[in-house]
């Protein structure tokens, strides 16, 4: 595989499966997106994992489980603290140094959070592009084209996904939620967008029949309090901010190594790419 992004996704997914999905496990949550496909690929290569019941987080992951001939379960069978999932493995759009993540690039954040919360361990797999010091800084914000006159700047709309925080909303509430985001969280109207479908006239409709607003807040100083503030808005079903949930993140790097960030310690590779001791060091 020559594409460094795709090979990054694969090596991260394979290493995570090898370390975190074990033969004694009974139930495992399967996330959504393109990186998760490589996790399924690895699981299929290991017959000792095929007795496990897999819990999907979306239509996509349900089909991956079924097409792989694996055992399909349902989240209703898993009650956190009673019949926990052993582990949930999932991709992410951006992950900070404290393992907070932005998710929902595939509009699956509600089911992904439900399944991640039901698991004893939540494991993130991603390629090197997803590593970020602070959420909201990894992707460029909208380009603003200034006119020569004194008129206000013209905002160039993004070609597709705004790459902010994905917010799943009840369809009839989307205008009210956008308004509340402006008033209560000072989101700018030009950095919020209702996510539109590509091969359909109209908005993306999630697996739960909802819409998604992508809202860019710039660098996010306190992801947990932003999450709390957005969730308090009537009409919001779920927010693609996963705070304090992941135990570990595997990043497939351009050089073919996997950088592992574990809760409470830096892994084998430091943030700036320098190799450090494999022994863990406390996070600041």
Interacting residues with ligand 5RP (CB under 6 A)? 31-35, 90-93, 103-109, 112
- Provide the minimum distance between the beta carbon of 108 and ligand 5RP in the complex, in angstroms, as a whole number: 4
In the bound state with ligand 5RP, the residue whose beta carbon lies nearer, of 40 and 233, is 40
- Provide the minimum distance between the beta carbon of 267 and ligand 5RP in the complex, in angstroms, as a whole number: 20
Instruction: Check residue 202 and give left, alpha or beta (phi > 0: left; psi -120 to 50: alpha).
Output: left
> Of the listed 112, 117, 190, 238, which one is catalytic?
112
Catalytic, 112? Answer yes
Report yes or no: 208 and 202 within 8 Å, Cβ to Cβ: no
In the bound state with ligand 5RP, the residue whose beta carbon lies nearer, of 73 and 252, is 252
- Provide the minimum distance between the beta carbon of 49 and ligand 5RP in the complex, in angstroms, as a whole number: 20
In the bound state with ligand 5RP, the residue whose beta carbon lies nearer, of 5 and 182, is 5
- Provide the minimum distance between the beta carbon of 101 and ligand 5RP in the complex, in angstroms, as a whole number: 8
In the bound state with ligand 5RP, the residue whose beta carbon lies nearer, of 29 and 91, is 91
| R_g of the chain, CA atoms, integer Å | 19
Tokens of 197: 């479908």
- Provide the minimum distance between the beta carbon of 38 and ligand 5RP in the complex, in angstroms, as a whole number: 9
- Kindly report the three-state secondary structure assignment for every residue of 90-103: ECCCEECCCCCEEC
Tokens of 105: 């690039």
Contacts of 260 (CB under 8 A, 6+ apart): 15, 248, 249, 250, 251, 267, 268, 269
Which is nearest to 168 in space by CA: 197, 209, 116?
A: 209
CA–CA dist 261, 283 (Å, integer): 10
In the bound state with ligand 5RP, the residue whose beta carbon lies nearer, of 4 and 182, is 4
Which residues are 94's β-sheet partners?
A: 102
Which is nearest to 245 in space by CA: 105, 69, 85, 60?
A: 85
**Residues 210-236: b if buried by 16+ CB within 10 A, e if exposed:** bbbbbbbbeebeebeebbeebeebebb
In the bound state with ligand 5RP, the residue whose beta carbon lies nearer, of 58 and 173, is 58
CA–CA dist 257, 254 (Å, integer): 7
Report yes or no: 89 and 78 within 8 Å, Cβ to Cβ: no
- Provide the minimum distance between the beta carbon of 22 and ligand 5RP in the complex, in angstroms, as a whole number: 22
Which positions are catalytic? 112
């Amino acid at each position: 595989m020559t594409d460094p992004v795709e090979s990054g996704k694969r090596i991260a997914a394979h290493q995570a499966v090898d370390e975190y999905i074990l033969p004694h496990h009974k139930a495992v949550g399967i996330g959504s997106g393109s990186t998760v496909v490589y996790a399924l690929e690895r699981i299929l290569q290991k017959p000792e994992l095929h007795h496990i019941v897999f819990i999907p987080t979306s239509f996509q992951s349900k089909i991956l489980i079924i097409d792989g001939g694996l055992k399909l379960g349902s989240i209703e069978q898993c009650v956190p603290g009673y019949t926990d999932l052993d582990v949930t493995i999932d991709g992410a759009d951006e992950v900070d140094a404290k393992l907070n993540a932005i998710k929902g690039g595939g509009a699956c954040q509600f089911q992904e959070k439900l399944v991640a919360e039901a698991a004893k361990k939540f494991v993130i797999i991603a390629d090197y592009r997803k590593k970020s010091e602070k959420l909201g800084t990894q992707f460029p914000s909208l380009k603003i084209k200034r006119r020569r006159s004194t008129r206000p700047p013209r905002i160039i709309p993004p070609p597709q996904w705004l790459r902010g925080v994905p917010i799943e909303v009840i369809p009839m509430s989307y205008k009210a939620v956008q308004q509340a985001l402006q008033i209560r969280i000072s989101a700018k109207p030009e950095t919020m967008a209702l996510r539109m479908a590509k091969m359909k006239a109209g908005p993306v409709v999630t697996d739960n029949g909802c819409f998604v607003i992508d809202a860019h807040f710039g660098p996010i100083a306190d992801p947990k309090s932003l999450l709390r503030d957005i969730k308090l808005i009537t009409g919001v079903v779920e927010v693609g901010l996963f705070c304090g949930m992941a135990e570990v993140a595997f990043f497939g790097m351009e050089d073919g190594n996997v950088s592992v960030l574990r809760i409470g310690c830096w892994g084998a590779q430091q943030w700036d790419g320098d190799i450090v001791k494999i022994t863990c060091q406390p996070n600041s």
